[in-house]
Amino acid sequence: MAMKNDPQVKLRLPPDLKDWIDQQAEANRSSKGSEIVRAVRERKERCEQQAQAA
């Protein structure tokens, strides 16, 4: 759940990634921002799991 005090970031995306995020947001009935957060969190979790396995 986003708070108004959360830091904001301007982000430039290649057209293919923007299109994919748009499609994911529509398919999941969520916002584009939520889809970006989900993708970053999934990547973060994978990196943390790899670090623990090493």
- Summarize pLDDT for 1-54 with one digit per residue, the tens: 556 788 989 999 999 999 999 999 999 999 999 999 999 999 999 999 999 998
**Structure tokens, 38:** 């989900």
Residue 2's pLDDT is 56
What are the extents of the domains in the chain?
A: 15-53
Residue 5's pLDDT is 85
**Structure tokens, 44:** 């973060």
Q: pTM for the full model?
A: 0.80
